[in-house]
Structure 1
Amino acid sequence: MTTPPSALTVDAAQPQELARFWAGLLGWHLATPAEFAGGPDAAAVRPGRSVGGLAYAAGEERLLGLDEAPASPGAAVGAGLGRFTRQEAPSVAAPVVRPPAEDGCEFDLVFVAEAEPKGHKNRLHLDLASRTPEHQREVVECASALGARHLNLGQGDVPWVVLADPQDNEFCVLEPRPEYAGAGALAALVVDTNEPARLAGFWSVLTGWPVSTDQNPQTVGLRSPSGRGPAIEFVRSTNAKQGRNRLRLELAADPGADPLSPTQDPEGNEFCVRTRPEPA
C-alpha cells in the first residue's frame, strides 16, 4: 500500500496570519468546507472575506504521530521503525491553503497552532519556482510586500534567494531551472538529511513516488507519478535533527485499507497517515 502526500502541516504561533501570507504568495486559496470534505478544518481566505474555521467531523479517525498520541500505548510496531497509534480526531480549527487544480501540487498546506517558539533552522523547507529572472524578482518582491525578510544562512553568492516568512520559516525562491518546468508555484519540498539516498528510498516506498534518475550524492529527489507539482528533495546536511519538526508531511491512505504506518522516518522526521473519506 502506498500513501501519497496529502498535506504539509506547519506549526504557527498565528495560523490565520501565516495562512494568509502563503495563500497570497503562492496564489492559492484556503479551502472551503465543501472542497475539503472529510479532511482537516478549512477556512476561506479570499479578497474581502473573513477567516473562519470548521471542526473535524465527529468520530473521524486520524493516525497521530507520537507527539500527538494519547498516553496509552500504540496498537502495533512494524519493522522496528516506529509505534502506531489511532484515535478519534480532536475538534480543532486549522486554516488549509489549497492549490488550484492547474497548479499540479497534490498536497495542501495546513497551519496548526503551536505556542512553542521556533528555536533553530527547520529540517524541512519550501523552494518556490520561477519561470524567468524577472519572474523570480517579482516573487521575491511579492514575498517582501507580504512580510517576508531576507535571510543569511551563509549561502554566499548564489542564484536563488533565501527568505523567511513572517514567522521565521525559511524558504527559497529559485532561479529558473528546467527540472522544475512542470512545477507550479512550488518547485520542491526540501528535507535536510544525513543520508539522502537512504531517506529517499524510504519515502519512495511509502509514497509511491519514484526516485528521480537525475540525482547525485548530495541531493536525491522524488517526483509524483503525474510528473506535475513539486518534487520532494533530500539534501545532504551534517546537522543533526533537533526537537520536533515544525513542518511535517501528512499522507493519505485509501478507504478500507489499514493505514497504520510508522510515526517517524529513519532519521526521526515525524509524519502521520490519514484515511481518505469514503466517496459519498
Structure 2
Amino acid sequence: MALRPVMVNIKALDAPAVGRFWAEALGWTAYSPGVTTYVGPGGGLVWPDPVVLGIDVVPVPEPGTATKNRVHLDLATTSAAHQAELVARLRALGATPAQVGQGRVPWTVLADPEGNEFCVLEPREVYRDTGPIAAVVVDCADPRAMARFWGEATDWTLREVTDDQAVLRSAGNTGPYLEFLRTPDVKTVPDRVHLDLLPYPGDDKEAEVARLRALGATDIDLGQGDVPWTCLADPEGHEFCVLAPS
C-alpha cells in the first residue's frame, strides 16, 4: 500500500483569482467544479491527472501571515530568454519580487498575488521533462528523516538523499520532483501550501491513515470540521491531507 501525491493545495482569500493566476502562470486552465478552483492542463478537467500535480486553490477567511511558507513551487524554464520572459509575464499577472534570504542566485524569487513564494529557475537539465512545475520544495531540518517518511508514505521513488537534500519523483519518472531542503529556520505557523495524497482504487483510506500514523504522522486540526479527508502532519509538522478515493 502507498499513496500518490495528486495535488498542491493552496489556501487563498480569493480562490478564483489565485487560481486564474496559476493557470496563466503554468499555461494551464482553471476549473471551478465546486467551491475550490482546480488548476490543471487544458482539454477538460482530469482528476487525478496521471502525470502532473494539479493545483487546488481553496477559499479561506484568514489572510496569510508575513511568515515565509515552508512549501513552495519551483517553475522550470528551457533557456535564459524563457526565464526572463516568464518572470516578466508573471509580474504582469500580479506576481511581486520576494526576499527570502536568497542572496545573489541565478533563479528569481517571486510571490503570487496573495504572497505565496515561488521560484522561477534558470534552465536546468534535470528539469527538462517535468512540465511547467519543476519541483515542490519543502524546507526541513532533517532531509534524511523526511526521505524515510515520505519514501514510505508515497509510491514515489527516492532519487537522492544527503544531509542537505532529499529528492523523490514518481515511479514513472514523470512530472515534478518532491524535494526536501535543509534550512535553519523552524516551522511556527500552518503553511498556506501543502500536498494532498490519494489512495489507489481499492485501497482503504483509513488503513492508509493508520499506516502513516505508525510511520510518525500526527493528526492535526486546521478547522476542517467533518470532512471526508484526513488532515495529518509529517514528523516535522508539515501539513498534508489524505483524500477519500472517488
- Tell me if structure 1 keeps the 8 A contact 2:205–2:245: no
Q: Which runs of 5+ in 2 are unaligned?
A: 44-48, 214-231
Which stretches in structure 1 are left out of the alignment for 5+ residues?
Answer: 32-42, 44-52, 55-92
- For 1:154, what is the secondary structure of its paired residue? coil
Q: TM-score scaled to structure 1, two decimals?
A: 0.74
Deviations 1:204-249 (A, max 9, x none): 1111111113x43211110111212110000001211112221111
Instruction: Look up the match of 1:199.
Output: 146
SS in 1 for 2:3: coil
Partner SS state of residue 25, structure 2: helix
- 1:10 aligned residue: 10
The structure with the greater share of residues assigned to strand is 2
Number of the residue aligned with 2:240? 271
Q: Which residue of 1 aligns with 2:191?
A: 245
Q: Determine helix, strand or coil for the equivalent of 2:205.
A: coil
1:152-179 deviation per Cα after TM superposition (whole angstroms, max 9, x unaligned): 2221111000001110000000001111
SS of alignment partner, residue 212 of structure 1: strand
Match of 1:230 among 176, 187, 190: 176
4+ runs deviating over 3 angstroms: none
Counterpart of 1:96, as a letter, is Y
Count of aligned pairs: 217
Q: 1:104 to 1:159 in 2, by over 3 A?
A: farther
Letter in 1 for 2:244: T
Residue identity matched to 1:194: A
Q: How does 1:29-178 map to 2 (within 5 A)?
A: 29-31=29-31, 43=32, 53-54=33-34, 93-100=35-42, 105-119=51-65, 120-178=67-125
Q: Report the equivalent of 2:25.
A: 25
Work out which of the residue numbers 169, 183, 197 in structure 1 matches 2:130. Answer: 183
**Cα RMSD, aligned residues only:** 1.7
CA distance in 2, matches of 1:156, 1:238: 15
Q: Offset of 1:100 from its aligned partner?
A: 5.0
Percent identity between matched residues is 41
Separation in structure 1 between the aligned mates of residue 104 and residue 22 of structure 2, nearest angstrom: 26
* Alpha-carbon distance, 1:99 to partner: 2.9
Where 1:4 maps in the other structure, the secondary structure is strand
* Alpha-carbon distance in 2 for matches of 1:229, 1:99: 12
Q: Distance in 2 between matches of 1:94 and 1:249?
A: 15
